[in-house]
């Protein structure tokens, strides 16, 4: 969710040219502004300031809490932010009042509106009481800084200061926006490597909307704009069906271990995305005879996976005893179904070629709308059919027509 409004306006921005001129450079600010090669980013802080923009060396000792979980990741479906999911990230980061800690947000557009939302407990900027609905209350839990970097060029993504801030984060959030810019501006940069290192070191990482889209091994890149379910089913090779990596055997952007062979699609219920997620997943299945899709790489259909996440819904993931386990979260005040949908094909697409509607039978869907059931991402199962928390059904796509036509959201 893009948090906007007067909360953001009340907090300090650090315009790069001014801060560099004051703190780092001998050249005048006007000359710096004319330097087209200068990295383009903006840096914001709510709470304790550990960095000055442009200087990769912290101005005071950084907090050093110890991560409490193995490879914790949060997948959020867009729309209203899920407050308890961020508190979970703070907890898994090991942040306490004794240790302190920093929550860093990265994005290519938008504002620093996440910072006060993470840091304060209510609209009165309280830090000494538990958070009300609509705030995370990070300072009360021990957070000492919430920081936002708006990173708008590849030069900025390679900048030492940007990477120093991200590399030392105790929790990292990828905001919503446009996933095509994340791929175009961040993939293959130093920032890409920095995020991968955080994941390897058990630092909690998460994203929402476009920010969650890029966490899967396979990403709908939206390089030519978005695609609807009708367009994807009508022609699974239409110009809007752009992916990263291309080809699928290429290097993934973030390569989150829990999300191998997986697409993640947010806003699932509100934007009717079942058909397009089925099409995305189908495209990864290797052509064998007349079944499968040209360009697919997965020989076993049921190894292809998709996760559709409704709005105001979070899926929290961590590794435990060699498996990746996930639970769903939402806000106490949610008015939506707030479900997570786990897709797995049971057979290869029968018809998958350019200019022809998709025919693909037997896509298993497991749908969860409670916060007590654990889903095993490694084995792709909740532990048994008949669970009261799971609705299991089959989706068929017959010449571009979905059956059942109405998905039981």
Q: Which of 193, 215, 237 is the last residue of a domain?
A: 215
Statement to judge: residues 236 and 193 lie in one domain = no
Find where tokens 């383009």 sit: 40
Statement to judge: residues 245 and 170 lie in one domain = no
Query: Is cis: bond before 404, omega within 30 of 0?
Result: yes
Cα-Cα-Cα-Cα torsion 256, 247, 270, 195, nearest 10 degrees, comes to 30
DSSP 292-341: SBTT--BSSGGG-EEEEE-TT-EEEEEEETTEEEEEEE--TT--S---EE
pLDDT of 327 > 90? The answer is yes
173/208 Cα distance (integer angstroms): 8
Report CA 362 to chain centroid distance, whole Å: 28
SS3 of 254, please?
A: coil
Say if residues 96 and 141 touch (Cβ distance below 8 Å).
Answer: yes
Q: Give the burial class of 124: count Cβ atoms within 10 A of its Cβ; 0-12 exposed, 13-18 middle, 19 or more buried.
A: exposed
Average pLDDT over residues 353-382: 93
pLDDT of 405 > 80? The answer is no
Q: Give the burial class of 37: count Cβ atoms within 10 A of its Cβ; 0-12 exposed, 13-18 middle, 19 or more buried.
A: exposed
Statement to judge: residues 133 and 42 lie in one domain = yes
Higher pLDDT, 383 or 327: 327
Higher pLDDT, 335 or 37: 335
Say if residues 242 and 221 touch (Cβ distance below 8 Å).
Answer: yes
pLDDT recorded at residue 29: 29
What is the 8-class DSSP label of residue 282?
H
- Locate 396 and state its tokens: 């068929």
Q: Which domain holds residue 141?
A: 1-215
Average pLDDT over residues 148-163: 98
pLDDT of 273 > 80? The answer is yes
pLDDT recorded at residue 407: 56
Instruction: Spell out the residues 6+ positions from residue 331 whose beta carbon is closer than 8 angstroms to its own.
Output: 80, 82, 83, 84, 133, 312
- Locate 201 and state its tokens: 């070191």
pLDDT recorded at residue 6: 34
pLDDT of 402 > 90? The answer is no
Statement to judge: residues 132 and 230 lie in one domain = no
Statement to judge: residues 281 and 158 lie in one domain = no
Statement to judge: residues 208 and 230 lie in one domain = no
Statement to judge: residues 88 and 180 lie in one domain = yes
Average pLDDT over residues 130-141: 98
Angle at 94 between CA 214 and CA 91, to 5 degrees: 65
Which percentage of the chain shows pLDDT scores above 70? 88
Statement to judge: residues 183 and 264 lie in one domain = no
Average pLDDT over residues 226-234: 97
pLDDT recorded at residue 39: 74
385/399 Cα distance (integer angstroms): 30
pLDDT recorded at residue 207: 98
């Amino acid at each position: 969710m893009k948090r906007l409004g007067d909360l953001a306006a009340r907090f300090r921005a650090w315009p790069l040219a001014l801060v560099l001129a004051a703190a780092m450079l001998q050249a005048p600010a006007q000359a710096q502004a004319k330097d087209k090669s200068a990295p383009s980013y903006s840096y914001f802080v709510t709470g304790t300031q550990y960095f000055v923009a442009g200087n990769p060396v912290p101005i005071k000792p950084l907090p050093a809490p110890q991560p409490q979980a193995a490879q914790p990741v949060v997948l959020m479906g867009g729309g209203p932010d899920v407050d308890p999911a961020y508190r979970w990230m703070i907890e898994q980061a090991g942040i306490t009042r004794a240790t302190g800690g920093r929550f860093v947000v990265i994005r290519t557009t938008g504002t620093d509106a996440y910072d006060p939302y993470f840091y304060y407990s209510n609209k009165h900027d309280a830090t000494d009481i538990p958070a009300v609905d609509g705030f995370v209350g990070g300072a009360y839990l021990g957070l000492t800084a919430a920081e936002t970097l708006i990173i708008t060029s590849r030069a900025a993504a390679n900048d030492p200061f940007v990477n120093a801030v991200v590399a030392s984060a105790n929790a990292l959030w990828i905001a919503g926006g446009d996933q095509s810019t994340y791929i175009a501006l961040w993939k293959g940069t130093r920032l890409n490597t920095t995020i991968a290192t955080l994941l390897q070191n058990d630092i909690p990482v998460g994203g929402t909307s476009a920010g969650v889209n890029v966490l899967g091994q396979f990403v709908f890149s939206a390089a030519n704009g978005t695609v609807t379910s009708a367009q994807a089913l009508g022609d699974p090779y239409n110009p809007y069906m752009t992916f990263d990596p291309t080809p699928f055997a290429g290097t993934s952007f973030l390569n989150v271990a829990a999300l191998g062979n997986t697409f993640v699609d947010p806003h699932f219920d509100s934007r009717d995305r079942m058909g397009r997620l089925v099409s995305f997943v189908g495209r990864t299945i290797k052509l064998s005879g007349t079944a499968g899709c040209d360009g697919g790489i997965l020989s076993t259909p049921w190894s292809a996976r998709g996760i559709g996440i409704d709005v105001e819904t979070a899926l929290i993931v961590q590794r435990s005893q060699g498996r990746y386990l996930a639970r769903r979260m939402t806000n106490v005040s949610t008015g939506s179904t707030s479900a997570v949908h786990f897709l797995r094909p049971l057979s290869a697409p029968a018809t998958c070629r350019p200019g022809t509607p998709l025919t693909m039978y037997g896509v298993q869907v497991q749908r969860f709308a409670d916060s007590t059931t654990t889903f095993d991402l490694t084995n792709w199962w909740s532990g048994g059919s008949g669970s009261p928390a799971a609705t299991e059904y089959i989706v068929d796509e017959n010449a571009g027509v979905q059956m059942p036509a109405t998905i039981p959201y």
